[in-house]
Each structure stands twice: as structure tokens, then as C-alpha cells.
Amino acid sequence: MTQSQVTGKIRCAAFISGRGSNMMALVEAAKAPDFPAEFVLVMSNDPAAGGLDWAAGQGLAAIAVDHRLFGKDREGHERAIDAVLEAHGVEFICLAGYMRVLTPWLVEKWQGRMINIHPALLPDFKGLHTHQRCLDAGHERHGATVHWVTPGVDEGGIIAQAEVPVLAGDTADMLAARVLVAEHRLYSTALRQVLANLTKI
């Protein structure tokens, strides 16, 4: 019997590559008794990712599978990650600042069970450096998007978005900080919504 059969909660993993503030917000939100998910694993491609220590301090399994050990074998790296996911009985993945492009192998295996947060109002500004690109484009609104992960980077169906204003005098860092606050609120709300729909199927 898996833990989710005991608690009725979906067993989630969060993937991080760095500080992990979105992961922290998800883990904190999931402490609510009525939250439909529990985080059982924090996975990183980088053993130095700051969020790993925080996750371990929360009593979570916090595991790095260092991509550098696999050279150009991206799928081999993901097969090693996937073995860890299976060993922890993971049922759903939240990419939360995971800075590697996934191979079709992992995406297809987890399609419909993997979501991502992107710091822009998709379909605007797919990819990197979204805040500077938003300023350069002269947009008045910016924000964040939670979306399904599909083979095309930042192209999966949109689940939820949060807008923030672009203010006069904003730098990319100022805008990033405003978007990050919105990300932290948005991700757990979107996860709740997705899992409610999944469990109705």
C-alpha cells in the first residue's frame, strides 16, 4: 500500500535547480490538511542547489542526480531520475525552477502528470531572460504561467496565470521580484485545481 492510499493525497515531487523558493511555497501550501497533494521528494540536477538543504530540513527526501555525471546522455540522466521517482512512489511532478530541457522520453512518460511554472504570461516570452525581454518589448503587464509539460519547451496547455504590472523605472530584477511573489501564490492554487480535476476523472 502506498502512502497516498493511506492519506488519500497524491504523492508529488518538486524538481529544482537552485534556491527553490517555488518549491518551498508548494511544500508549505501542501501542509494544509485539505490540500490534495503531499510532497515526498525534492529532486535536483545540481547537488549544490540551495533548496535541497531546506527540503531535507523539512524531513523530505532531497536527492540530486548530477547531470554532469552523464555527459551528453540526457536520457540516461533522466532514466536515473525516473528510477528515484519510482522508488519514492511519485505520482505527479511539479517543475519549480528546474533549468534543464527535458527529453521526449521523460516528458512522454509523465505527460498529464507533470506541470511547470514559467515566469511570463505565455505564450509571450518562452525560454530564458523573460523579465528583461518583457521590459525591452515595452509591455505594461507581465506575470507567471503554470502549464502542462509537453515536448515543446513552454508550449503545453495553460492551467493558470497571474498578472503583475510593469512599473515605471522597473529593472529586470525589480520585475522578477514582483513576479516571484505572484508565482508563489499561483503555483499551489494551480496544483490544487489540476489535482481536483485529475481525481474527478
Cα–Cα–Cα angle for 138, 144, 147, rounded to 5 degrees? 130
Residue nearest to ligand GRF (CB): 97
Q: Among 118, 131, 142, 184, which one carries the catalytic annotation? A: 118
* Residue 19 or 31 having the CB closest to ligand GRF: 19
Q: Is 118 a catalytic residue?
A: yes
d(CA 167, CA 141): 9
The site for ligand GRF, by CB under 6 A, has a size of 13
The region of 39-47, 52-60, 70-78, 112-120 touching ligand GRF under the rule CB under 6 A is 112-120
Give me the residue label for grid cell 551528453. Answer: 72
CA 79 from centre of chain = 19
d(CA 117, CA 191): 10
d(CA 177, CA 23): 16
Least distance CB 177 / ligand GRF (angstroms): 10
Question: Side chain identity at 75, as an amino acid letter?
Answer: E
3-state class of 114 per DSSP? Answer: strand
Interface pattern 178-197 for ligand GRF (x via CB under 6 A)? --x--x--------------
**Of 18, 74, 89, 155, which one interacts with ligand GRF (CB under 6 A)?**
18
Least distance CB 96 / ligand GRF (angstroms): 5
143 part of the interface to ligand GRF, by CB under 6 A: no
d(CA 110, CA 57): 28
- How is 11-39 classified by DSSP, letter by letter? EEEEEESSS-HHHHHHHHHTTSTT-SEEE
* Residue 8 or 185 having the CB closest to ligand GRF: 185
**Of 13, 117, 160, 195, which one interacts with ligand GRF (CB under 6 A)?**
117
Q: Which cell numbers hold the place of 140?
A: 505594461
**Of 16, 62, 115, 194, which one interacts with ligand GRF (CB under 6 A)?**
16
Q: Which residues bind ligand GRF (CB under 6 A)?
A: 16, 18-22, 96-97, 117-119, 180, 183
- Active site amino acids: 118
